[in-house]
Amino acid sequence: MTQSTENSTPDQEQDTVTAALLVIGDEILSGRTVDKNINKLASHCTQIGIRLSEVRVVSDHSPAIIAALNELRARNSYVFTTGGIGPTHDDITAQSVAEAFNVPLLEHPEALAILEDHYPRGALTDARRLMARVPQGGQLVYNSISAAPGFMIENVIVMAGVPAIVDVMLDDVTPKLRTGKKLLSKTVQVHHPESFVANLLLELQNQYEGVTIGSYPYFRDGVIGTTVVMRSVDETKLNTAHQQLKNQLIETDKKFS
Amino acid sequence: MTQSTENSTPDQEQDTVTAALLVIGDEILSGRTVDKNINKLASHCTQIGIRLSEVRVVSDHSPAIIAALNELRARNSYVFTTGGIGPTHDDITAQSVAEAFNVPLLEHPEALAILEDHYPRGALTDARRLMARVPQGGQLVYNSISAAPGFMIENVIVMAGVPAIVDVMLDDVTPKLRTGKKLLSKTVQVHHPESFVANLLLELQNQYEGVTIGSYPYFRDGVIGTTVVMRSVDETKLNTAHQQLKNQLIETDKKFS
């Protein structure tokens, strides 16, 4: 057993399943590529009842990947990684994950068979064949778009960086994941600056334990306003808090939608 | 002096200035909000000669903010933070930064004057006045959009989460930052899968120390291709490597743009 499964956290005992996302890629850090996987994974996790607790973006640098991965997998139910599993010299994720788990990186027979099946005869070059390597003990995560699989080892799910491939890999791996209570949310748009509702929200936050109240200012088309988002796994409590906020906004202002 | 300035890293001695970005906000982790600041800051840093070395996204939870901030500021020339400096109960960034530096959070006279000047008489509520608090020793980062300033304390720059405000805050703070050599880049589009150029790129990477070669697959409109990005602070070396790649692609394929 690994450290992460031995030491179940209080959160896990309370039916909360957490995840971290490790985005691997110089291209995100240089600004060349706009990451699309953070929001994709955040939305997916919320939808299936996993709480995304943190995200890191690191460069294509093995020590950085290993350090981040070992820290994140020890304190989260799951760690997802995106990027760095292609056939080129800068694709060092599989090797880094193997080093993080201190296991060898081996050619996976089923992964090799998938690649052999995918490419025309003779087109499975040495470079492509590298994509069949999986850390010992890893299970394949299938990729219906470009064949080369990701993998899951213990609580770490290793995916490609291309967003469309992340979609199909999430489809494949999600049924295997333990999930917790879904975090529900209710939103209220307030046509006023945040400071207008600050005291009201503070009082509500103190009153409703188990409901997290977020306040997000916006400036759209020259209009200042605030989006209030209430989140809870307890639907009844969430509805009560939401109704109370709406009532109090009516009382204090009559101007909300 | 702080740990971060006492222990200059080898990188700093070699005229490389690094930064980390700490994105603070439950709304990013829940998927409700798509972060726009990571790419903004990444592009900005590259443009001015700062290397963005890592990004973290953490929740509105003080221990998480403090731990991440202390880790990042010890090993980077600068740390930028976005989010959590508004007037509501979930805006805990200024307090967390003060705790990370172990200094009191004090009402900053100039920040207070800015807010008094910005709001109509009587409209500077207690909630709004909270936005005048700055960790002791912090210098203001001006906000020409909604007045409430960010601040810079030692090597940490604390900004709002709203992207338009991040823009004006970066404008204000950038002249105060030390910058290094600009990372230059050259891009080649290859109309083939990554594996087609994998060996070629590996050889080039081994040949050109100081040039980082990134290979990024794409699937656009049903076409598979690869974007090769070469990056270096050494313009001559970069141009030579770039020319060699183009020549070798012509030799091996004649199909590139």
The residues near A213 (Cβ < 8 Å, ≥ 6 apart) are A201, A204, A205, A228, A229, A230, A231, A241, B89, B90
Please judge whether B39 and A34 are an interchain contact, meaning their C-beta atoms are less than 8 angstroms apart: yes
Whether chain B has a CB inside 8 Å of the CB on A87: the answer is: yes
Asked if the Cβ–Cβ distance from B28 to A55 is below 8 Å, we say yes
Q: Mean pLDDT for chain B?
A: 90
Between A34-38, A252-256, B141-145, the lowest mean confidence (pLDDT) is in A252-256
- Asked if the model's pLDDT at residue B3 lies above 70, the reply is no
Exposed, middle or buried by CB within 10 Å (0-12, 13-18, 19+), for B209?
exposed
- Tell me, what's the pLDDT at B196? 84
Q: Identify all chain A residues contacting B133, using CB atoms and an 8 Å cutoff.
A: none
Residue A218: its pLDDT value, please? 83
ipTM of the complex: 0.87
Task: Identify the pLDDT of residue A63.
Answer: 97
Q: Is B90 on the interface with A (CB under 8 A)?
A: yes
Q: Is B2 on the interface with A (CB under 8 A)?
A: no
* Comparison of pLDDT for B59 and A250, the residue scoring more: B59
- pLDDT surpassing 70 at residue A45: yes
Which carries the bigger pLDDT value, residue B61 or residue B191? Answer: B61
The CA-based diameter of chain B, rounded to the nearest angstrom, is 74
Distance CA(A168)–CA(A145), nearest Å, equals 8
- CB distance B88–A44 less than 8 Å? no
For B151-174, what is the mean pLDDT?
Answer: 97
- Measure A156 CA to nearest chain B CA, in Å: 18
The pLDDT assigned to A6 comes to 40
* pLDDT exceeds 50 at position A251: yes
Do the chains contact at A89 and B213, CB–CB below 8 Å?
Answer: yes
Question: Based on the number of CB atoms within 10 Å of its own CB, is A238 exposed (0-12), middle (13-18) or buried (19 or more)?
Answer: buried
pLDDT digits (tens, 9 = 90+) for B28-66: 999 999 999 999 999 999 999 999 999 999 999 999 999
- Spell out the domain ranges in chain A: 3-176, 184-252
Contact A201 B88 (CB under 8 A): yes
For chain A, the average pLDDT equals: 90
Which of A24, A30, A143 would best serve as a mutation to test chain B binding (most B beta carbons within 10 A)?
A30
What local confidence, expressed as pLDDT, does residue A1 receive? Answer: 35
**H or E, element range at B6:** helix B3-6
Nearest CA in chain A to B199: A127
B202 touches chain A (CB under 8 A): yes
| pLDDT, tens digit, 9 for 90 and up, residues A87-140 | 998 999 999 999 999 999 999 999 999 999 999 988 898 889 999 999 999 999
The model's pTM is 0.88
Residue A186's pLDDT is what? 94
CA distance B231 to chain A (A): 10
Which of the 8 DSSP states describes residue A256?
Answer: B
Tell if the CB–CB gap between B89 and A197 is shorter than 8 Å: no
Per-residue confidence at A14, pLDDT binned at 50, 70, 90? low
Of residues B43, B57, B219, nearest to A162 (C-beta): B219
Taking the Cβ of residue B54 and every Cβ of chain A, the question of whether any pair is shorter than 8 Å is answered with yes
- Which of the four pLDDT bands, split at 50, 70 and 90, describes residue B219? confident
Cβ distance of B88 and A198 shorter than 8 Å: yes
Say whether B224 sits in a helix, a strand or coil: strand
Q: Could you read off the pLDDT of A149-205 as tens digits, one per residue? A: 999 999 999 999 999 999 999 999 999 999 998 889 999 998 888 888 898 999 999
Indicate whether B194 pLDDT > 90. no
Using a pLDDT cut of 70, give the percent of chain A over it.
93
Whole-angstrom CA distances from A135 to A174, B9, B65, B195 are 20, 33, 33, 21
Specify the higher pLDDT residue, B10 or A245.
A245
Higher-scoring residue by pLDDT: B154, A255: B154
Question: Which residues of chain A make contact with B202, given a CB cutoff of 8 A?
Answer: 88-89
Instruction: Say if residue B256's pLDDT is above 80.
Output: no
pLDDT of residue A75: 97
With cut-offs at 50, 70 and 90, classify the pLDDT of residue B253: low
Instruction: Kindly determine whether residue B127 and residue A199, on different chains, have CB atoms separated by under 8 Å.
Output: yes
Higher-confidence position of A256 and A228: A228
Q: CATH code for A3-176?
A: 3.40.980.10
Coil, helix or strand at residue A81: strand
The pLDDT assigned to A173 comes to 97
Please state which CATH number belongs to domain B184-252: 3.30.70.600
Secondary structure class of B203 (helix, strand, coil): helix
- Flag if B86 and A30 touch (Cβ within 8 Å): no
Residue contact B42–A56, C-beta within 8 A: no
Q: Find the angle CA(A150)-CA(B220)-CA(A143) to the nearest 5 degrees.
A: 20
